[in-house]
Amino acid sequence: MGCTESKGKLFKDRLDQVQACLVNQTWRIRGDVKELERQVDELRDIHVFFSSNKDTAELARIQRLADVVTEELLSLLDRKTLRAGPEAAQGITKIAAKLDTFRATRASDIVLQKQKGMSLTLGKEELRIVESLLSGETSSEKLLEACNSVMRHLQQAKVYAAQVPELVSTMLNSLKALGERILEHFLASLESRPRDANGLVALAENLDTLSEHFAKLAGLSPGEKVAPLLKKVREDSSLALGAARMTELQASLANETSLAQDAMKLLNDIAALWTSPDAAQKTSLAGAFDSVGLKIQRSFEQAIASGDTGGMTSLLVTAKDFDERRQEVDGAGTNLISRDMERKKAGVTLNMLIVNAEANVEKQSVELRKLFREAEAKVSRLDKDKLDEPGEGANWKFKLGSGVFKAFPSDKNAEVEKLYQTWLRNGKPTDTAGRRFELRIEVRGAASRRSTRKKCPYGDKCYRKNPEHRREFWHPSDNMENASGLLPEEPLVAVEVREESYSLDFLLMTQVNMTRGGMRNINREEGMTVSQKLTHEYFDKVIEFVKEAEGTLTQAEIELHMLGANERANMQKQVDALTQAMTPTLREFLQLAVLLRDAKVMDEVIALLGVHAERLRLTDALKEVRLEDVIRELTQAYSKPSLRASPKRWDLLRLLCKRQKAGPRNLLKCRLALVKTKAELSVLMRRRVQMRCQSLLNEYEADKEFCEKFRRQAGQVLKEALLEEAKRLEPEAAKGLLKSAVAWQCDLDMLLETAGSLLESLARSAAASIQPASRIVEVLDFADGMAKAAQRPLESFCDLRPVLPDMAKKCFDSAIKPCVEDDAFSSRMPSVVKQVHEVRSRLRSEATSAGFDAELWKLFEPWYSRLRTEGKSDAQTAASEWAIAYCEQIKMPVPTWMMDRDQVEALRKLTAAVSGGNEKDLREAVVFAKLTDYKSDPALTQKYDEALTRLRALKRLPSGWEVTDLVGDDATKKMFKKADLDDPALKKLFQEIFDATKASIITRDRAARGSGVMPRGYQVEKIVSVMNAESWGAYLQRTDEISAQCARFAGSAPVSASVWSSWSGPVMTASQGNAILSAAHLPSLTESANEFLMFHGTKPEAADSIAANHFDMAFACKTGLFGAGLYFAESSSKSDEYCQGDARGRFPMILCRVALGRINYCPNVDPVKDPGRDKLEGSCIGGEYHSVLGDRKKARGTYREFVVYDHYQVYPQFIVWYSRVS
């Protein structure tokens, strides 16, 4: 359902767009009916969708829009469309046929009906014009012209008659009348204008074709053809008429005063009449041609002698007509008299042309030189940056019906521009409301006379302009005739003044007259700039001068081609002299145009001159002028800027500050701002001239000589500028100079030779001065930038090796020594290392870098040795740290005579860790020192031992544990190690404790585990000491807490002998515990916490896990008699019940230190019920006890069990591997 609604909305939006298009009539704006056709196609698709949905409201809306389209088609089907041809009308009928597919009533029937009616009307109008033309009087001289006019209207009427059969009969009558008119006047036309005979015969053949076509349409038989009759008349009359013309010609030739043109006319008539002459006629014609040719030539010579240029031109036309006619009669091999006459005329014309042109050029050159000086003076008084600023506002024009654009009135022009700028500020909106603006203009009508007559339907084509017709009808041309008094006076209409409203659309650039209707295009032209306003008068005069000169030179070129070789050479010299006279004026023009960079006017002048620009050498002159202008601007851009303003300006600035009550501080601020602005303007000027130079080279790239000249001059300017920039140490400016030199392919050696010696002196000065080492960096940066810009190695033009000792000493004395001897060495060291490295890194070549290092170590080594001798360990360490950091930066090994980086870093870490006392830092420092050769340096060895001592104290590690072994090689891992105890005496003590605590009591647990047979004894095989720093620290902390808590309960720790006696005796391991711990160099047991050594049996893998990860309460036995705790025994036999052996038959038993604390004694037979597991656990976990002693010896006669519920009360001290003795 949602998809259908979304699709329906989409089609409604499409229908809205079609409606908007139909309302706005966009196809009229674009002049494209296909746009209307596309909208109809869109309507058809939308109609299909809404028909399937049966949306009656939208279907009715579509029908209304279809009616709108039908009305639009009827309006488009006007006279203009029908007269344009059948294709235009077919386009409209095609759209109507598409409307028929969804419109309720057939649109095509309505359109065809109107088309037929208009075709009938237009056809009748054309036939009435034909009737009017045929009814008028026709002279024999204008017969062909009149008949052709009638035939054109008949051809147009033929188009309409094809659709309207009612016109066929009228067409036949008109064709018949035309044929009769031709037959009636043909003989007279043949007598007066024989040359029209062929045209009339061709027209008659076309007439016969039309008559046959329409007779066939009407079902009638065609009448007699006109063309054969005309041919018969011409054959019968041409012989006699030709003979009569020949007689007239001979008489004309015999008369010396007769004109050659008249003779030629008679000769043309004879040739037209005798189309197929016999032998006698050919002979007569040949003689006539010879005589007429001689007459034309004699007349031409007379015109030359008298200077009659009009006569020469007329006779030359006659000669060409003569040559053309003679070729038709005699053939192509006939000699042409017009060529010789053209050569003679060319010489005379060219001579007169040059004389007049020389006088004109001289006169105009004086006038143009005066205008040039005035314009140049005006331009020179202005700042160049202001020349391209707008000098006047934009000009708005609207298009007239004739296609010509007319300017708006000045006040309205400003108003339109204001509206346009508002549209721009609003972001050029495209919606109708945002892009359209209203403009009101006052329109004044012209005074006219009221006409009481009707307009003639035939307009100026009407041939019935007699007084009776004009009293009833008027024609467009009657206004001019009325001025001559041909028409009666009519009442004068007063001048009408009205205000009209216009809608301006700045997106489509159109204006619509909202008062009278109609739309016109509008156009915006940018106004002149400041420079154009100053020079437009001069430039316009130059363009006029060039146009006239180009016409003269073009005419001279044409005339030169007519001359012979000798005459041409002589005349060419005069033409060349004329062009040379024009050159100074054009060169002045180019100077001003180049100064203003007005490429448009230069291109216009060169385009007007065309090929003559080369002969005037205007291109070469333009290149020279542009080169001079560019080099002048380049010199100005790189001239040393003056940072001091003129005294007058400073006086004005001081006066301003005084009036504003501003002190010297504000005056200084103003001055600094002015200096900064001046520098920025200088940079912009240089960028601009660099672009101009590159553009000039690109434009004239093919002219090698010009480019070489430019490079020589530009290179000299850049050399001088480079010296100035080097003195001021301006790297960006110098790099820009060299980049420009490389881009322009100037001679770099000339620039770099001077720059190299200057760089050496700058480097030596920087190293020897009291300035910091950063000054050397600036100089080297400057040198490196120059090398990169020049695309050359620095060594190729600047040798810095002699300066290296001074550079090294500067760095050592001013940076390294003060830094090492400073108390804030750590904070200063990175910056000093960076400072020295920056100096070295600027020495790009390996040779200079190595030389700098060698000089630096020469100074460093004796100083370092002296620090060691004097016992200044801190300074020595700082020096080492600095040297190591520096060597890391340059990726070189540290000298062998000082600590390496790892040793220095180890010493630093150890010192910081010992001072800080942080366990993590101590471990990391010890591990790092172990990885270095710390024993080679006494200070480092001493600090290493101090760190171990501090770590032992921090972790409260026993003296028998080796801290180095515990830390290992990874500071992130646990401090854990298992060590085998191989001392025989210690092994004997462990054997004694196993033997002393052994019993022969078999419990239920031993039977349940499959070990029902009691071993006779246990043989200790291996003793492993467990060193786990984390577990040990947690155990000691818990033991201290228990001791403190037991102190609050008198007699709880240590337990008295009497109490132990009542609890089935003392702990069995108590007598041997301290002896074992003492032999293993471990702390003795803490009596205040009731600490004892006790047994815990387990599996081999569990023993290793407990040693590494301590006891885990998650594995405590939940079903134990005394709850979920850790169970320990005083008897080796009891713990043996829970041990499992390995593949070799050895069993692990953990001998643990257990802090029992305040003991909850439980002798009950069934502690699960009385007092219960939960109460026993709660007495220790949340109560006042720390452990439970389950006296199963008293209750069952087996073994006592010791239970704790906190795994930090236990430390697995030893893992004892033993074997059972069966």
Four-residue CA torsion sign, 658, 661, 667, 670? negative
**Helix, strand, or coil (residue 998):** coil
Which range has the top average pLDDT, 372-381, 846-855, 1017-1026?
Answer: 1017-1026
Q: Kindly report the backbone phi and psi dihedral angles of residue 498, in degrees, each rounded to the nearest multiple of 5, phi listed first.
A: -145, 155
Confidence of residue 483 (pLDDT cuts 50, 70, 90): very low
Confidence of residue 391 (pLDDT cuts 50, 70, 90): low
Mean pLDDT (the chain) is 80
Confidence of residue 1198 (pLDDT cuts 50, 70, 90): very high
Higher pLDDT, 505 or 629: 505
Which range has the top average pLDDT, 386-395, 998-1007, 1014-1023?
Answer: 1014-1023
How much is the pTM? Answer: 0.42
Higher pLDDT, 1089 or 467: 1089
pLDDT (mean) for 1113-1118: 82
* Residue whose entry in the numeric block shows the structure tokens 């600095």: 882
Residues 707/624, Cβ–Cβ less than 8 Å? no
**pLDDT above 70 (res 670):** no
**Helix, strand, or coil (residue 371):** helix
Tokens of 606: 């060169």
The residues facing 1097 across adjacent strands are: 1149
Q: Tell me how far apart the alpha carbons of residues 1191 and 1200 are, in angstroms, rounded to a whole number.
A: 5
pLDDT (mean) for 252-263: 76
Residues 6+ apart with CB under 8 A from 145: none
pLDDT (mean) for 427-450: 75
pLDDT value for 335: 67
Higher pLDDT, 1059 or 742: 1059
pLDDT value for 882: 81
pLDDT tens, residue by residue, 340-366: 777 777 777 777 778 888 888 888 888
Q: Tell me how far apart the alpha carbons of residues 1139 and 1149 are, in angstroms, rounded to a whole number.
A: 7
Q: Kindly report the backbone phi and psi dihedral angles of residue 1021, in degrees, each rounded to the nearest multiple of 5, phi listed first.
A: -105, -40
Tokens of 490: 């009519």
pLDDT (mean) for 767-777: 76
Q: Look at residues 1045, 1151, 1152 and name the one whose alpha carbon lies nearest to residue 1088.
A: 1045
**pLDDT above 50 (res 71):** yes
Q: Please give the share of the chain, as a percent, with pLDDT higher than 90.
A: 15
Q: Tell me how far apart the alpha carbons of residues 754 and 756 are, in angstroms, rounded to a whole number.
A: 6
Burial track 549-567 (b if 16+ CB lie within 10 A, e otherwise): bbebbeebeebbebbeeeb
pLDDT value for 1217: 96
**Helix, strand, or coil (residue 1218):** strand
Which of 115-124, 461-470, 704-713, 991-1000 has the least mean pLDDT? 461-470
- How far apart, in Å, are the Cα atoms of 918 and each of 921, 929, 948, 955? 5, 16, 12, 11
Residues 998/1129, Cβ–Cβ less than 8 Å? no
pLDDT value for 482: 45
pLDDT value for 460: 63
Confidence of residue 30 (pLDDT cuts 50, 70, 90): low
Residues 1177/1123, Cβ–Cβ less than 8 Å? yes
pLDDT value for 1023: 95
pLDDT tens, residue by residue, 34-51: 777 888 888 888 888 888
Which range has the top average pLDDT, 169-178, 189-198, 387-396, 1097-1106?
Answer: 1097-1106
pLDDT (mean) for 297-320: 80
**pLDDT above 80 (res 565):** no
Q: Tell me how far apart the alpha carbons of residues 40 and 69 are, in angstroms, rounded to a whole number.
A: 8
pLDDT value for 653: 59
pLDDT value for 943: 83
pLDDT value for 487: 47
**pLDDT above 70 (res 446):** no
Q: Tell me how far apart the alpha carbons of residues 944 and 967 are, in angstroms, rounded to a whole number.
A: 13
Tokens of 242: 């030709």
pLDDT (mean) for 404-425: 86
Which of 412-426, 486-500, 519-533, 626-640 has the least mean pLDDT? 486-500
pLDDT tens, residue by residue, 208-221: 888 887 777 777 77
Residues 1074/1084, Cβ–Cβ less than 8 Å? yes
pLDDT (mean) for 1160-1182: 91
Which range has the top average pLDDT, 10-14, 223-227, 939-943, 1213-1217?
Answer: 1213-1217
pLDDT (mean) for 543-558: 79
Confidence of residue 649 (pLDDT cuts 50, 70, 90): low
Which range has the top average pLDDT, 146-150, 448-452, 604-608?
Answer: 146-150
pLDDT tens, residue by residue, 784-816: 777 777 777 777 777 777 888 888 888 888 887
Higher pLDDT, 652 or 17: 17
pLDDT tens, residue by residue, 169-210: 888 888 888 788 877 787 777 777 887 778 888 888 888 888
pLDDT value for 1133: 92
Rg of the chain, C-alpha, whole Å: 61
Q: Other C-beta atoms within 10 Å of 1209: how many?
A: 27
Confidence of residue 614 (pLDDT cuts 50, 70, 90): low
Higher pLDDT, 490 or 633: 633
**pLDDT above 70 (res 1057):** yes
Q: Tell me how far apart the alpha carbons of residues 1067 and 549 are, in angstroms, rounded to a whole number.
A: 137
Q: Tell me how far apart the alpha carbons of residues 875 and 257 are, in angstroms, rounded to a whole number.
A: 132
DSSP 932-946: TTGGGSHHHHHHHHH
Residues 970/1007, Cβ–Cβ less than 8 Å? no
pLDDT (mean) for 721-741: 72
Confidence of residue 129 (pLDDT cuts 50, 70, 90): confident
Higher pLDDT, 1190 or 964: 1190
pLDDT (mean) for 701-726: 80
Helix H or strand E segment including 366: helix 337-380
